[in-house]
Structure 1
Amino acid sequence: MTTAAPSSFVHARTAPGPRGLPFLGNLVDVRRDRLGTFLRAAVEHGDVARLEFGVLTGRRIAHLLRHPDHVKHVLVDAPDNFDKQTPGFTRLREVLGEGLLTSEGSFWLRQRRIAQPAFHRQRIASFAGVMVRAGEERVNAWLERARRDEPIDVAEEMMNLALRIVCETLLGVDMVDTSAVSQAVDVLLADVRNGLGSFFSLPRNVPIERNRIFLEAADMLDRQVQRIIDARRKSGAEASDLLSLLMAARDPETGEGMSDRQLRDEVMTMFLAGHETTANALAWTFWLLSLHPGVRRKLSAELASVLEDGRLPTFEDVARLEVTTRVLQESMRLYPPAWIVARRALRDDVIGGYAIPAGSLVFVSPYVTHRHPAFWENPEGFDPDRFAGGALSRLPRFAYFPFGGGPRQCIGMSFAMVEATLLLATLGRRVHLDLLPGQRVVPEPGVTLRPRGEIRMRIVPIEPGSTARNGA
């Protein structure tokens, strides 16, 4: 499949799409059911589906792109024609400022170059011990709860665990109140999510309850971040974490370092991107494993084989944990934490023969593309073996893109995969998690793809040498 040149814009067709309401377009449908609306648009209207948001939002036009070649066009072939000046990123900047996730242009490139060394393979390998130790301490606490027959909310557990790891590895601190930070992040992301579907938003200085809660959460996080920065400046100690690299960096032209505001924005981005996405991926993974005991038996068998005598995993084991990796890949195919990428077209373009006007939005969604029937057999099924034998190399590059792609591909991709693999192995070698009955677990698409509410699970210890441990 090819993408036409922009010069053919005047002859391009208008893409089909779902019929909307007068004055509102598709806004109500998207607000009510984002995932369902996007999936239906792709199934019923094809690889390029046009959406309209009515006069209350300035009659904005958007196109949902499903085909891997179209995703590649936006993220790799013509990234300079698609910027991040979208409603979603505007609201996200209220939380993250101008960090790596939200900034653009030369400023973003400078920040990316400063941050990149912290994510080299050797640095990630040095963090593996922290990840495994945190996982082992967590599973020990779970076993205490299992003795009292106390269930856990695996979504909350993974959030707190991943936040602890990001604080120790990327920020070099262990003094953050993880519970308070998680609650504040929940408030801020919920506000961003709810705002995306609102007909209008009041300015933050309007004294309504929603604004008060948002500002209190933002202020609490700001104080936590400033506390970390102040403590590091005061200590003067050299460290190898990302915060230390950012604080030591100097502009090659002016010799100036980063301001506290710039540091704050990057730390806030790490709080979000460094724990929210990994935590969601693991929560979905444990839920899926509880629904598919055959897959869980294969995972247990691999852990028993690779981690002989029940030892803890190491960085060197990651490459050997093939089933573990495939389980995570399939979990992120079905429930990619970064479920959608939004861009704004700067100039008229043509994609798949359809006109993409300047100023309109484009959406590329791993959640939608990962279910494309032309590339995925039984796309709604959970089958980690579909990734066996180098299967990804036989697919188009963007048939699977849970970490994005192109110049803006997630800088922490390798970090996240190592962390998720080591944590799944560390936890899974000692316990199974069984979903408690009577729950309806559904995804909530906001900034990330979270479970809506709790995922309550019973802890089932795996005794050394038991049949469960041997994969039976």
Structure 2
Amino acid sequence: MSPSPTSELIRGQRPPGPTGRWLSGNIQPFRNDRLAFLTDCAQRFGDVVALRLGPRRIWALNHPDLVEDVLVRHNRIFTKHFALRAAKPTLGEGLLTSEGEFWRRQRRLSQPAFHRDRIAGYGDVMVAYTDRMLRSWADGQQRDAQADMMQLTLEIVAKTLFDADIVKGAADIAEAMEVLMVNFTRKVNRLVPLPGWLPVPENFRFWRAMGVVNQTLDAIISGRRREERDRGDLLSMLLLASDPEGDGSGMSDRQLRDEVVTLFMAGHETTANTLAWAWLLLAKHPEIEARLHDELDEVLDDGRPPTVADLPRLRYTDMVITETLRVLPTVWLLGREATEEVEIGGYKAPTGTTMWMSQWVIHRDPRWFDEPETFLPDRWADGLARRLPRYAYFPFGGGPRICIGNHFAQMEAVLLLATIARRFRLIVPEGFTPRPIPTMTLRPEGGLPVQLEERRPASND
């Protein structure tokens, strides 16, 4: 039985936590190193830790049962927290940021687009676009693997989301996405938010970036409205969706835009960073990389590209992605805000308290994982996932608001890893380990420089 947080109500008491400054609270050590700060708090103060960032009351929850309390048992009394509200100027009322009945309706309308059978149909696109990228790669070439993965997943999400090949315009859109990501991070870091209407350089950059994204997406949506046919992409499903539990209507243009921009941003950033971390970890563990190559040579005879039909046999490849998401989780923190008083971990949380649940902290907890700091894909080989507490591993969140694209993301990461690794090794400079930067996602600081080494699959004769 797993260790459990206390269930005896501690009335009138505040959870333990680090001492903060009078005005700013704990914001400075959090800014200095978010991951180290949250890890240290868990080790020093336990499963419920009280923090304060300026005026915001935050509890860090470091036990899977408490995560389940928030995401599942009491999910109806929690809303998204202040950081995601700061993303609304970018994402609007998409699935990531909307709440209540509006969110439930949008989820019902969007869910059919992410049915497993529909998602499986995108496997050929993922592999074909990856092979197209590999035609520009050569033995001995120096590349930024993180930048390449961002470009690749951007092109894939554009094709699968709205059947568009955006190679020519990808640089402009990618640059706009980066501006929006930086803007979001700055908003979260400020004690006093910068008003969005203020005519300052930061806001000018944000407005220009939003203009690029909106112009691109609005043109696609308006054009597709006129077509009224299913082109086999996710946007077709969203355009044709109607709400069987309501009045049978579909999404407005504004709702479509918000969902599309949310999927567009989240759909390439997360997978790209997962793959970048996977290349780093494989380069640091040549014995694991060799195991991966052995599986690819066996399953993909004669070096052919993988298909969706190969996924059940690419077991070790899947474990490499699963373990990458444990050690270096792309989504490193979830947050929810209590809309009423609620008991969590034996304490009464006042209305307005923000709950932080960090995948980075919980995925590295020795109570759930042996050698938690070590990259060991084999740990998943003997049914570990079934033995763990449900929320000891939650790279895609959980509960009713679990990431709607989780199956898409896992399939894409496995197929792209297999397609690339069958052809190339990505060698990281000796001694180089990029610092993980926790923005909206966890990304390698400064990218991931690699040298390509073309490989020849071993013969199965």
Contact residue 132 and residue 312 of structure 1 kept, 8 A = yes
C-alpha deviations, 1:214-250, integer Å up to 9, x for none? 1111111011111211221233432232211222234
Superposition pairs for residues 40-79 of structure 1, below 5 Å?
A: 40-54=40-54, 59-79=55-75
What's the secondary structure of 1:350's corresponding residue? strand
Of 435, 444, 447, the residue aligned with 1:451 is 444
Given the alignment, which residue of 66, 84, 89 partners 2:84? Answer: 89
Letter in 1 for 2:405: G
Q: 1:117 aligns with which of 112, 117, 128?
A: 112
Q: Are residue 213 (structure 1) and residue 205 (structure 2) matched?
A: yes
- Deviation beyond 3 Å, 4+ runs, structure 1: 2-5, 234-237, 250-257, 437-440
Partner SS, residue 317 of structure 2 = helix
| Structure 2: gaps spanning 5 or more residues | none
**185, 201, 208: which is aligned to 2:193?**
201
Choose the corresponding residue for 2:156, options 157, 165, 169: 165
> Counterparts of 1:48-447 in structure 2 under 5 Å?
48-54=48-54, 59-84=55-80, 86-143=81-138, 146=139, 149-175=140-166, 177-251=169-243, 253-437=246-430, 439-447=432-440
Partner of 2:60: helix, strand, or coil? strand
Residue 254 of structure 1, CA deviation: 4.4
Cα RMSD over matched residues? Answer: 1.8
**How many positions carry a matched residue from both structures?**
456
What are the superposed Cα offsets for residues 334-392 of structure 1, whole Å, 9 maximum, x if unpaired? 11111111111112222222232211110011111101111111111111111111111
Counterparts of 1:12 and 1:393, CA distance in 2 = 37
Q: Cα offset for 1:188? A: 0.6
State TM-score, norm by structure 1: 0.93
CA distance in 1 between partners of 2:411 and 2:455 (Å): 23
Amino acid of the residue matched to residue 372 of structure 1? Answer: D
1:373 maps to a residue whose letter is P
Partner amino acid, structure 1, of 2:63? H
TM-score, normalised on structure 2?
A: 0.95
Q: Secondary structure at the match of 2:137?
A: helix
Q: Which amino acid aligns with 2:76?
A: D
Q: Distance in 1 between matches of 2:199 and 2:42?
A: 41
1:221 partner SS: helix
On the 8 A contact 1:12/1:353 being kept in 2, the answer is: no
Q: Secondary structure at the match of 1:342?
A: strand
Aligned in 2, Cα 1:120/1:331: closer, same or farther, shift over 3 Å? same
SS of 1:73 mapped into structure 2? helix
Identity %: 43
Query: Does structure 2 conserve the Cα–Cα contact (< 8 Å) formed by 1:433 and 1:458?
Result: yes
What residue identity is the alignment partner of 2:109? I
| Contact persistence 1:433–1:460 (CA under 8 A) | yes
1:153 maps to amino acid: D
Between the aligned partners of 1:255 and 1:454, the Cα distance in structure 2 is 46
The one-letter amino acid paired with 1:22 is W
Q: Which residue of 2 aligns with 1:31?
A: 31
Could you give the per-residue CA deviations for residues 389-445 of structure 1, whole angstroms, max 9, x where no partner exists? 111101101010001110001111111111111110000001000012464401111
Q: Distance in 2 between matches of 1:364 and 1:274?
A: 22
Measure the CA separation in 1 of the matches of 2:185 and 2:289. Answer: 33
Structure 1 gaps of 5+ residues are: none
